[in-house]
Homo-oligomer: A and B are copies of this chain.
Amino acid sequence: MTRPHVLIIGCGFGGIEAVRKLAKAEVEITLVDRTNHHLFQPLLYQVATAGLTAPSLAGPVRHILRKEIKSGRLTILQAEVTGIDAVARHVTLDRGEVLSYDHLIVAAGATHSYFGHNDWAQHAHGLKTLADAFNIRARVIGAFETAERCVDDVARTPWLTFVVIGGGPTGVEMAGTFAELANHTLRGEYRRFDSRSARVVLLEGADRILGALVPSLSERARKQLEALGVDVRTGSRVTHIDAEGVTYETRDADGATKSHQLASRMIVWAAGVAASPLGRELERTADAKLDRAGRVIVESDLSLAGHPEISVVGDLAAAMSHGRGPPQPVPGVSPGAKQMGRAAAANLLRRLRGEPTRPFRYINYGDLATVGRSAAVADVPAPIFGHVRFSGFIAWLFWLFVHIYFLIGFRNRLIVLFDWAGAYFTFERHARVVATPAPPDREN
């Protein structure tokens, strides 16, 4: 008897957890991903800002799953999935190979969305992949290098104006770390300007940053950012981006809009996320319903309506948590993806045993956001108190502990701790070596 073949697309948090759960059962698994690594995305901004090297938070997926490979049940292919045929039950890869499946778990994640303004992409740099992080790193370091070559302040100022668009966790972390780079790491290293003269502006369309947190923590995070020297501008809606900089609108008390210009050569896009295009593929072939962000609406057990052999997990899924009380949307955070990956795999095994599947329930262990050096905010559900909310240095230590803890299985955590401890005490960021001879922003 041949084992049923489970095909898993994506080796993010959801895909890896699904493989681990399934590898103990009598199934044949194929994992397909475009890259050769699993990425600990919550720390990606540290690579983009030269605080950590890539191997500290990206592990070769073959190494992470080496035991599962040795068990003889897992094949990993580095390839891009270009099509899904839910009727014939197969997927097509970028070189035309066809892989049939008995069960399919789609964990293909999300990418950035420019809300229909794809021409903004060349000027406002997103942060989803390692390649994105290296791009931003080269541009930030390159902007300071270009500033040293400028002969006057008029030419120099746009290179020393860093604009971060989007006040979610990534935007807040990037803005805080840019300020640290300018005020500490690079201080004293330039002759023609003071690195502390660089400006960091954080633009957010809503009236507060970190909108997923309670307002009191948003306010504390804003104060912490401002203490680091970040210019936080909420209620600022971006209307245009080009090589010269950013145009945004604000609305005054009587509702009139006002337009503002910010000349900048270094813009980070942390505003919008769109689901993987494989969502559209499921819509086409399996009649899947998508939400406004392109995410696939799944059943309570994470499978697709009409296609119980297909499950969607992680950022590509618009899933609900079925706990006590009415169903709640699952937030797009890594614990959510992990829990979905495990749950989809468990339901798949239940199906194979002829048992009924179970609805997915998301367990929230807390919300955390870091603002920069020694500053963070935390909101942890506590059984009796309801919520414990705290901020500042203690929250930052807690954030550090949680992130180091979840790096298990990556590189030696001691090295990451070393890197961080070194960076903390010396302010130096060793990863600011850029391979490209010319700063890539030179052309823009």
Interface assignment of A428: CB less than 8 Å from any CB of chain B: yes
Chain A 91-118 interface residues, beta-carbon cutoff 8 Å to B: 93-95, 97
Contact mask for chain A residues 426-444; partner B; CB cutoff 8 A; 1 contact, 0 none: 0010111111111100000
Q: A415 to B419, Cβ gap below 8 A?
A: yes
Would A95 and B149 be within 8 Å (CB), given that A62-B189, A69-B191, A439-B78 are in contact? Answer: yes
Q: A433 to B36, Cβ gap below 8 A?
A: yes
Q: A149 to B430, Cβ gap below 8 A?
A: no
Interface assignment of A89: CB less than 8 Å from any CB of chain B: no
Please pick, from B35, B66, B142, B189, the residue contacting A437 in the complex, using a CB distance under 8 A: B35
Please pick, from B97, B418, B432, the residue contacting A418 in the complex, using a CB distance under 8 A: B418
Contact mask for chain A residues 38-72; partner B; CB cutoff 8 A; 1 contact, 0 none: 00000000000000011100111011001001101
Would A191 and B74 be within 8 Å (CB), given that A418-B412, A430-B411 are in contact? Answer: yes
Smallest CB separation, A196 vs chain B (Å):
15
Chain A 68-82 interface residues, beta-carbon cutoff 8 Å to B: 69-70, 72, 74-80
Q: Indicate how many identical chains form the complex.
A: 2
Interface assignment of A192: CB less than 8 Å from any CB of chain B: yes
Contact mask for chain A residues 127-144; partner B; CB cutoff 8 A; 1 contact, 0 none: 001110110000001100
Interface assignment of A338: CB less than 8 Å from any CB of chain B: no
Would A433 and B189 be within 8 Å (CB), given that A36-B145, A412-B422, A415-B418 are in contact? Answer: no
Q: A54 to B428, Cβ gap below 8 A?
A: no
CB-CB under 8 A from A94, the residues of chain B are 438
Q: B189 to A69, Cβ gap below 8 A?
A: yes
Interface assignment of A414: CB less than 8 Å from any CB of chain B: yes
Please pick, from B36, B70, B415, B435, the residue contacting A131 in the complex, using a CB distance under 8 A: B435
Interface assignment of A37: CB less than 8 Å from any CB of chain B: yes
A437 to B70, CA, bound (A): 25
A295 to B346, CA, bound (A): 67
Please pick, from B69, B142, B148, B436, the residue contacting A76 in the complex, using a CB distance under 8 A: B148
Interface assignment of A34: CB less than 8 Å from any CB of chain B: yes
Give A145's nearest chain B residue, CB to CB. Answer: B78
Having A60-B430, A129-B435, one finds 13 other A-B pairs with CB under 8 Å, namely A36-B141, A36-B142, A36-B433, A66-B188, A69-B190, A78-B439, A80-B437, A97-B149, A130-B433, A130-B435, A134-B435, A412-B422, A414-B418
